[in-house]
Structure 1
Amino acid sequence: MDTRRLHLLVELSRLGSMREVADAEGLTTSTVSQQLAALAKESGSTLLEPDGRRVRLTPAGRRLADHAVRILAAVEAARRDLDPSAEPSGTVRVAGFATAIRRALLPAIHDLRGTHPALRVELEEYEPLEAVRALADDRVDLALVYDYNLAPSSPGAPGDAHESVPLWTAPWGLGVPAGDHTDVADLDRFAEHVWIVNSRNTADEDAVRTLASLAGFTPAITHRIDNLDLVQELIADGHGVGLLPLGRTYRPGVQVLPLPEPGVLLRAYALTRPGRSTWPPLRAVLDRVVDR
């Protein structure tokens, strides 16, 4: 199969319309259509189907697009081996949770601006389940996600539709109103309290329920809040307790107590679709994110 035609198919899967592919590639829409028709004939499959006034990939088209990414990545890797001065260029779409964006992605973008000016990064702030769905739908190229040791999501397990690279781990504790001066949270003391969990990610609630179960009670989960600043306000005003990262400075009225064993450990990961991590622009971003 012609690699140029495979490239156009991949771009159509990413951009969503022939006009956008034509504009991006400096071609006419008619040329793009003809090339994809020739690719369908080469493959012996129907790759496109009508979708209103546009077209969309058929299941066979999506499968071939996934194969095409691997094929083109291999071709590009070969070119890079022969031309080590080749410059990564293009747009890398990233979805991730706020801490990962601040801690890893923004410094990576800053570095890349100086080393690879032709490389562009688009980012969206998503919780893990949202980011994984965006990755599965091919709406992003890289997902920065997390789970907890007490609520594992097993990213990268056999059969998963992504590849996983560990980034970092961070201990979390129990955020309570200031004034409790114990060194470690005695969970029994908070059995009758209202608990606060994340509104957009179930791992937070799963970890809280596991902790409470180990301590012999069922938590009264009343508030579901995504923003950690708002969680702090609720805790400071006596409206509940909840998990917060250890080792940070918090607003007056809030303290974070270490948890008894096994504790809660946040684990951050970078996820990519199979075979795509060798795409040079994505590789450049991923290498810098992993280094943080």
Structure 2
Amino acid sequence: MDLRRLQLLVELSRLGSMHAVAEELHTTTSTVSQGIATLAREAGAPLVEPDGRRVRLTPAGRRLADHAVTILAAVDAARLDLDPAAEPVGVVRVAGFATGIRRSLLPAMDDLAATHPGVEVQIHEYEPVEALDLLARDDVDLALAYDYNLAPASWRSDLEVTELWRVPWGLGVPARERRAPFATYADRSWIVNSRNTADEEVLRTLASMAGFTPRIVHRVDALELVDDLIVAGRGIGMLPHGPASRRGIRVLPLKGPQVTLRAYAVTQSGRDRWAPLRAVLDLLVT
């Protein structure tokens, strides 16, 4: 199979439109359509089907697109082995949680601009479940995800997972409050994440150990809004320890057990050999 046609299929799986693929690759829609048709004949199976004014991949098309990503990454890796001086060039799509993007990806992008200016990073902010779903559909190349020691993630066998850093979490309460046994907070209103269930699982585990069921009132994604609700006396919730940037909030340490958030870089197995993605990963784990 011609590598250029495989590239057309990969771009079509990502963009969903032959016209968009043509614009992305600076060619014509007719060329894209003919290339996909030739590839279908080579594969011996239809690869696309109509979807309104657009097209979508058939099951066979999706399977071949998955293989194509691995094949093209392997070819890039082989070229790099043959030419170690080759400069990585390409677009790396990253989906990740906001803190991971701020703490890991943005500093890496600054370094990347200096060391590999031909690599462009596109950022999509998502919670771990959403980011991993995008990774599985090949809509992104890299996911930044997290779990907790009390709510560990169950990673699929086809993923490469690299831990980036850890940070302890505690109980966020108004600054006037002092540390007390966890059971003391049984009657309080609680705040949990609206887009990820891990912190709620941690809360329910801690509450169960303290002998109560938490009354979850607010479901909020942005930590800044969690801060505002706590300061306003509308509830309490789990927050990371760190610099005292939240005026009016005290983050109380938790013991027996402690709570730790763990951040990860996640890719599809074998994809990290693709030079632009490898360049990003190397900076993330430095």
Q: TM-score, normalized by length of structure 1?
A: 0.93
2-structure distance, mates of 1:70, 1:14: 15
Equivalent pair of 2:66/2:138 in contact (CA under 8 Å): no
1:32: how far off? 1.8
Q: Which moved more, 1:278-287 or 1:15-24?
A: 15-24
Alignment of 1:70-81 (within 5 A): 70-81=70-81
Cα RMSD (Å)? 1.6
1:238: how far off? 2.1
Cα distance change, pair 31–233 in 1 and its aligned pair in 2 (3 A): closer
**What is residue 202 of structure 1 aligned with on the other side?**
197
**What is residue 217 of structure 2 aligned with on the other side?**
222
2-structure distance, mates of 1:257, 1:39: 60
Equivalent pair of 1:164/1:272 in contact (CA under 8 Å): yes
The residue type paired with residue 123 of structure 1 is: I
1:247: how far off? 2.4
Identical aligned residues as a percent: 65
2-structure distance, mates of 1:52, 1:192: 53
**What is residue 173 of structure 2 aligned with on the other side?**
176
Structure 2 gap segments, 5+ residues each: none
**Paired residue total:** 286
Q: Does 2:137 align with 1:137?
A: yes
Q: 1:238 aligns with which of 228, 233, 236?
A: 233
1:290: how far off? 2.1
1:180: how far off? 3.2
Instruction: Deviation per CA, 1:237-291: give whole Å up to 9, x if none.
Output: 3222111111221433311111012211101111222332211111111221222
Q: TM-score, normalized by length of structure 2?
A: 0.95
Structure 1 gap segments, 5+ residues each: none
**What is residue 249 of structure 1 aligned with on the other side?**
244
2-structure distance, mates of 1:246, 1:26: 48
Please identify runs of 4+ aligned residues in structure 1 that moved more than 3 A: none
The residue type paired with residue 39 of structure 1 is: L
1-structure distance, mates of 2:270, 2:27: 28
The residue type paired with residue 282 of structure 1 is: L
1:75: how far off? 1.2
Instruction: Deviation per CA, 1:24-50: give whole Å up to 9, x if none.
Output: 323222222222211111111111111
